[in-house]
Amino acid sequence: MGKRTIHIESRTERLVAVREFVSVAARESGFPDDEVSKIALAVDEACTNIIKHAYKFDPTKEISVTVKNKTGALEIVITDTGIGFDPSRLQSPDMKEYLTHYRHGGLGVYLMKSLMDKVAYKINAGRRNEVHLTKYLPR
């Protein structure tokens, strides 16, 4: 398959198209259904963060999602040109504390880290920000 890209406007109604695009690619790469669901959810979370935090719901902005087949792995690169927000600096919440104190928000980044094997950020605020999500094929 190599590499393919979808470009979407920064709107939450476009999340379904991203999930479908990523699910097809992951399935074609040989991931089983439960792993396909995890990858699609992680990409949804990355795009939702961009729509809310990097673009602040400005629907004129664009998000690009590129899937790359690598040996034994699928890499997804999500690109935006919004304000630089580097969630890798955020500490993962202690979920027990989070739940018992009825905390809100911040679950998307935690989910991405839990669902994927590797999460990396390249931030160049206002120019080009990238989130790299990698999942290894089960042996």
Partner 1 sequence: MSEFKIALREHDTVHVLELKGYLDAHTAPTLEEAFQTLLKNQRYNIVVNCKDLSYISSAGLGVFMAYIEDVRKNKGDIKLSNMSAKVFNVFDLLGFPLLYEITKDEQDAVQKFLAAK
**Least CB distance to partner 1 at residue 115 (A):** 7
**CA 59/CA 68 separation, integer angstroms:** 26
**CA 46/CA 50 separation, integer angstroms:** 6
What's the angle, vertex CA 10, arms to CA 62 and CA 102, rounded to 5?
Answer: 140
| Furthest C-alpha separation in the chain | 46
**Least CB distance to partner 1 at residue 11 (A):** 8
Instruction: Provide the binding-site residues for partner 1, judged by CB under 8 A.
Output: 12-13, 15-16, 19, 34, 37, 41, 44-45, 48, 51-52, 95-96, 98-100, 102-105, 107-108, 110-111, 114-115
Nearest CB to partner 1, comparing residues 42 and 74 = 42
3-state secondary structure of 137: coil
Nearest CB to partner 1, comparing residues 76 and 115 = 115
**Least CB distance to partner 1 at residue 134 (A):** 18
Nearest CB to partner 1, comparing residues 2 and 97 = 97
Nearest CB to partner 1, comparing residues 42 and 77 = 42
Q: Give how far the C-alpha of residue 73 lies from the chain's centroid of Cα atoms, to the nearest Å.
A: 16
3-state secondary structure of 121: strand
**Least CB distance to partner 1 at residue 72 (A):** 23
